[in-house]
Amino acid sequence: MRTWQSRPEDAHRRSRVWVALGLVILLAGSLAGCEDAQLPPVFSPGSSPGSLPGSSAGLSAGALDGLIATLRDGTQTERAQAADDLARLADPAAIPALATALADEDWTVRWRAAEALTTLNDERAVDALLDLVAVAPKEPAVSSDDLETARSAYEAGIRALGLIGDPRAVPRLVEIAAVRESTTESDAAGDALGAFGDAALPGITAAMKAAGASRAALIVPLMARLGETGLAPLKAALGDRRPAVRIAAAMALAGYGGQGLSPLLGALKATDRNLRIAAANALGEVGDPAATAALVRQLADPKMTSAVTRALVRIHADDGTPLVGYLKSRKTVGVYRAVIRIGDGDTVAPLVKALKSFGSKTMGEAYLNCGNPTLEKAAKAWAKAHGYTVVTSPGTGSEAWGSG
């Protein structure tokens, strides 16, 4: 990196393994005239309902009692198969038995029962499903051999709760979804809350209000999962007394695109600088040029420079020329950082002119190190005219031409 030196007088999960086990032996040729021989179906922990060969052909309502008995008293493989068959039978009378199977001693049976309840979608299973997802499966409570299947059961329970849509499930789904680093389980819980729609809002709002600031900030983005329903409460959260909640609301509003523009522009006027920074970043995500003027005004605060520059680059990534007009005033010439990062050839001449008119040591160094030959030349001329010499030191400039 090169900088100025004054002359002496100056001083960045798992993939589920679906193992299909099923052996079918077809006898032909010398056995012409005989029916095909087929081995009995073998249950696979990785298969989904409907995928097991020959497992439920010809099932009828009359099979219900037998399947329920097998689900209760059969071997592990038979119990799991019975859960699959009950899902295909789709008789609501199986709900109590399947709900009981959610506490089966074998995790595979629990998983298949949860999948079956997802298919049947009946609120009578809610309490049992909540028991299934009450605690995330972890070692040592769950053995390493069972852990993968236990997690599958856990996720299936989450999905079932989302499809059933009973508000009793919202608090637990919020607990699972509101995490700092997303997981397969938290994503499933977020999707489940989204499936609730309007019915999830009271529970999410109550959880946010009751939580401490850091926990509440993790809950706020869940409102965005509700689509239009979440827009108004997110706007309101911009005025929450807790700074972390305000910031989280601004970030979540970015996902609403143009609908988030107005509240974010309002947040850009807040006295809370951290909220203004979050709003600037969110406006960059929105990408609407209508935010340009409001963002540029924030350059008056040096601590806003980084966020505003990032936002302007995102908004004008394909064409930097709309920013040229701001290079003509000392108050707004700070847009030069964004213009350099965008790297539009049509902005070179205006950048040179801006340096001559409003140049500073910081601005000159940015030009000198940006990698554009014309701007480098202009920087050297400016340095000579203002009593500086160029000194080379390790490092690179913060603004690189066309770096975005």
Q: Is residue 388 part of a domain?
A: yes
pLDDT at 60: 60
Last residue of one domain, picked from the residues 299, 315, 331 = 315
- Please check whether residue 106 lies inside any domain of the structure: no
276 and 324 in a common domain = no
Largest Cα span, the chain: 108
pLDDT at position 288 over 90: yes
**Which of 270, 285, 315 represents a domain boundary (last residue)?**
315
d(CA 285, CA 297): 18
One domain, residues 257 and 297: yes
Phi, psi at 119, each rounded to 5° = -70, -40
328 and 397, same domain (yes or no): yes
Q: Residue 8 and residue 24: Cα distance in Å, rounded?
A: 90
Of 252, 280, 315, at which residue does a domain stop?
A: 315
pLDDT, tens only, 77-127:
999 999 999 999 999 999 999 999 999 999 999 999 999 999 898 999 999
pTM score, whole prediction: 0.79
User: Is 250 part of a structural domain of the chain?
Assistant: yes
Tell me, yes or no, whether 264 and 332 share the same domain.
no
**Any alpha helices (H) in 123-260, and if so which ranges?**
126-132, 144-164, 170-177, 184-196, 201-210, 213-219, 228-237, 243-253
Angstrom CA distances, 278 to 27, 251, 340, 367, stand at 69, 6, 23, 28
Which pair of tokens denotes residue 104? 């089966």
| Strands annotated E in 267-325 | none
Residue 403 belongs to some domain of the structure: yes
Number of domains in the chain: 2
| % residues pLDDT > 70 (the chain) | 84
**Cα–Cα nearest to 282, from 305, 308, 303, 304:** 308
> Distance (Å, rounded) from C-alpha 150 to C-alpha 152?
5
- pLDDT tens readout for residues 206-252: 999 999 999 999 999 999 999 999 999 999 999 999 999 999 999 99
Say if residue 307 is in the same domain as residue 327.
Answer: no
In terms of domains, do 332 and 404 share one?
yes
Q: Which of 322, 364, 370, 362 is nearest to 343 (CA)?
A: 370
d(CA 213, CA 240): 10
User: Taking a C-beta distance cutoff of 8 angstroms, is the pair 207, 237 a contact?
Assistant: no
> Do residues 299 and 351 both lie within one domain?
no
Q: Are residues 328 and 306 in the same domain?
A: no
Are 311 and 351 members of one domain? no
Domain that holds residue 397: 320-404
The answer to whether residue 342 sits within a structural domain is yes
Whole-angstrom Cα distance, residue 112 to residue 156? Answer: 9
Q: Within a 10 A sphere around the Cβ of 130, how many other Cβ atoms?
A: 18
The Cα–Cα gap between 192 and 15 comes to 21
Average pLDDT over every residue of 167-179: 97
Is residue 37 a part of any domain in this protein? no
Structure tokens at 186: 């938290």
List the structure tokens of 348. Answer: 């070179």
Domain annotation covers residue 332: yes
Looking at residue 36, the DSSP 8-state letter turns out to be: P
Q: Tokens 């809610």, residue?
A: 126
Q: Give per-residue pLDDT as tens, 251-281.
A: 999 999 999 999 999 999 999 999 999 999 9
Asked, as a colleague might, if the bond just before 140 is cis with ω within 30 of 0, I would say yes
Report which DSSP code applies to 55: S
Q: Find, among 53, 45, 52, 165, the residue nearest to 111 by Cα.
A: 45
CATH of the domain at 310: 1.25.10.10
In this structure, the answer to whether residues 291 and 335 fall within a common structural domain is no
- Rounded to whole angstroms, the Cα distance separating 213 from 199 reads 24
Averaged pLDDT for residues 365-390? 94
Is 152 a member of any domain? no
Q: Are 264 and 276 in contact (CB under 8 A)?
A: no
pLDDT classification of 15: cutoffs 50, 70, 90: very low
pLDDT band at residue 392 using 50, 70 and 90 as cut-offs: confident
Both 329 and 404 in a single domain? yes
361 and 306 fall within a common domain = no
H or E segment to which residue 362 belongs: helix 361-368
pLDDT of res. 29: 37
